[in-house]
């Protein structure tokens, strides 16, 4: 009987520890230090070309040159031009959003 009480006590202790850990995890957005990625700043045509090659490749998984070739291939497609009163973003920005 005493062994059963010890086992139940250990289970309760483990459960309390699990609940405490779950609470900690649910209240923390990041478990490691986090640097903000200023994405709104990046999605501007002039800022795209200013990104370093490393940062550009990290964000979009392609090089500046390949990205520009893709933009040249797709920019005249009718999907990027509409007659709505709301102007569409530059095809380069739309591509950047799709790749990110």
Residues 30 and 47 in one domain: no
Between CA 54 and CA 90 the distance in angstroms is 23
Residues 19 and 47 in one domain: no
Residues 65 and 82 in one domain: yes
The answer to whether residues 8 and 14 touch, using CB atoms and an 8 Å cutoff, is no
**Using one digit for the tens of pLDDT, what is the confidence trace for 31-53?**
777 666 655 666 777 788 888 99
Report CA dihedral (70, 94, 55, 25) to the nearest 10 degrees. Answer: -140
pTM as predicted? 0.56
Residues 54 and 95 in one domain: yes
Residues 42 and 28 in one domain: no
Averaged over 16-22, what is the pLDDT?
A: 84
Residue with more model confidence, 45 or 79: 79
Which structural domain, as residue segments, surrounds residue 13? Answer: 1-34
Asked whether the CA dihedral 44, 97, 32, 29 is positive or negative, the reply is: positive
pLDDT tops 50 at residue 5:
no
């Amino acid at each position: 009987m005493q062994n059963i009480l010890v086992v139940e006590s250990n289970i309760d202790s483990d459960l309390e520890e699990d609940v405490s850990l779950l609470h900690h995890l649910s209240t923390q957005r990041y478990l490691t230090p986090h640097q903000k990625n200023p994405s709104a700043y990046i999605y501007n045509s002039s800022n795209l070309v200013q990104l370093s090659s490393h940062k550009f490749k990290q964000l979009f998984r392609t090089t500046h040159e390949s990205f520009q070739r893709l933009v040249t291939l797709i920019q005249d497609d009718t999907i990027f031009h509409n007659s709505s009163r709301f102007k569409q973003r530059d095809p380069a920005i739309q591509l950047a959003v799709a790749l990110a």
